[in-house]
Amino acid sequence: MTLDRITPRKTRVGLVSGGLGAYWPQFLALLPQLEASARRVASRLSELDCEVVDAGFVSDAQEGAAAAEKLRVAGCDLIVGFLTTYLTSSMMTPVAQRSGAPVLLLNLQPTEAMDHESFDTGAWLAYCGACPLPEMANAFRRVGVEFRSVSGYLEDARAWTKIERWIKAAGVRAALRHGRHGLLGHLYPGMMDVSTDPTLVSGQLGGHVEILEVDDLRVRVEKVSDSDAAARMELAREVFTVDESVVDEDFAWGAKVSVALDRLVEDFSLDSLAYYHRGLDGETHERVGAGFILGASLLTARGIPAVGEYELRTSLAMLVMDRLGAGGSFTELQALNFRDDVVEMGHDGPAHLGISARKPLLRGLGVYHGKRGWGVSVEFDVKHGPVTLCGLGQRRDGTFTLIASEGTVVPGPLLRIGNTTSRVDFGCDPGEWTDAWSASGIAHHWALGTGHRVGELTAVADLLGLELTVVNP
């Protein structure tokens, strides 16, 4: 069964195309050709799972200013300026200054190369988008606007791969800027590395951190009917292989908490959730804290990352990976295998079910190691093949950094203890990799996602204004 994803807000891309109006009376065929190219760019952009706000074709500074105002009002996540031929920097600079969004300039000529034997001046000018690119870069930097560009030709697959990467990165930035991130319970005692000031999240990444209490969930759990819990158990039986170790009473409790978690997320309009509650002697709050794993895994699979141990930064890293289409599962180091040269990593608890190598297992646990309580836990191996680790680090001055490493999940023996364990080959001695990864400033949790994503994370870091550290010893 496929879980219905919670549909995120679409990335909004503003497009403005332009050329120098002085050319139009001189070369009558030029403007229609360039406008056709602009329509093609708009069409290709709309195929990249984004909403395109097209401000039209500008020919002078006044039209550029009008386009800038239209795109400012539209609240775009990325501004794309298509340089169809030469145009002055005064035509594009207002667009870059006023939008409040990152700007990407495109220099896409009609074909791979000119036909030098037949081209006249007018035909050449359609290939002249490269000419203003250095001018734009200089002007943007002088007015304090970051510069990025993609050069190629209209049907250039390499160029469109890069453009799609920037649009995905803009979607990640938007998810963080518009996101509402739940923080429920309290820190796991003693974990100094995971402690995060919520104000720093809003200050550096945007968005809002909603502080929640365990009673916000407890009351909702108490209102879940037996029929709703039974329906959630039926859903779980379709999504998971239910191991014989699962106790019916614990399964039913996890289902109740799952339904209540869905209602909590809906009531507070959450885009992510980090939680932890210790509890004592099996009382209700402890049972609520121990009942998260089923519901948190189902939420994560639907696009709402939910993680344990109050790990706010990792829930944000998981959101980054999810919006890149990589999944992103809650992960930490488990052991090193020097015989097979792999690093074994995963976590007890919530996981991204969409990246499991096979139907995930629901296992009953009488003990949650290092935590109080008992119940059901998720066990799986991430899909075999290329993967990327992504974490959000924090420096002494509070500055966030992105940290990533690419590897390959390979088959082999795994523990069967209700953990999400994967064997990752980083192409080097596992001890060397572990030392380099630990030295990067990463905390002890991160997101594990499918595919090699450093190229996309490079674009994400650029748009977020964060340093990206890539571990590749």
Domains with residue ranges and CATH for the chain: 12-176 (3.40.50.10940), 179-470 (3.20.14)
CA-to-CA separations, 469 to 64, 328, 402, 429, 436, in angstroms, rounded:
38, 18, 6, 20, 11
pLDDT for res 1: 46
Strand order in the sheet with 149-153: 50-58, 11-18, 78-83, 103-109, 149-153
Q: 385 vs 165, 340, 343, 381, CA distance in Å?
A: 21, 16, 14, 11
| Secondary element (H or E) of residue 346 | strand 342-346
pTM over 0.85: yes
Q: What is the predicted pLDDT for the residue at 2?
A: 55
Six token digits for residue 255: 């289902």
3-class SS string, 255-290: HHHHHHHHHHHHHHCCCEEEEECCCCCCCHHHHHHH
Contact yes or no for 380/446 (Cβ under 8 A):
no
Residues 6+ apart with CB under 8 A from 223: 260
- Rounded Cα distance between 288 and 185, Å, is 11
The tens-digit pLDDT sequence of the chain (473 residues) is: 457 888 888 999 999 999 999 999 999 999 999 999 999 999 999 999 999 999 999 999 999 999 999 999 999 999 999 999 999 999 999 999 998 899 999 999 999 999 999 999 999 999 999 999 999 999 999 999 998 999 999 999 999 999 999 999 999 999 999 999 999 999 999 999 999 999 999 999 999 999 999 999 999 999 999 999 999 999 999 999 999 999 999 999 999 999 999 999 999 999 999 999 998 988 999 999 999 999 999 999 999 999 999 999 999 999 999 999 999 999 999 999 999 999 999 998 788 999 999 999 999 987 777 777 778 999 999 999 999 999 999 999 999 999 999 999 999 999 888 889 999 999 999 999 999 999 999 999 999 999 999 999 999 999 999 999 999 98
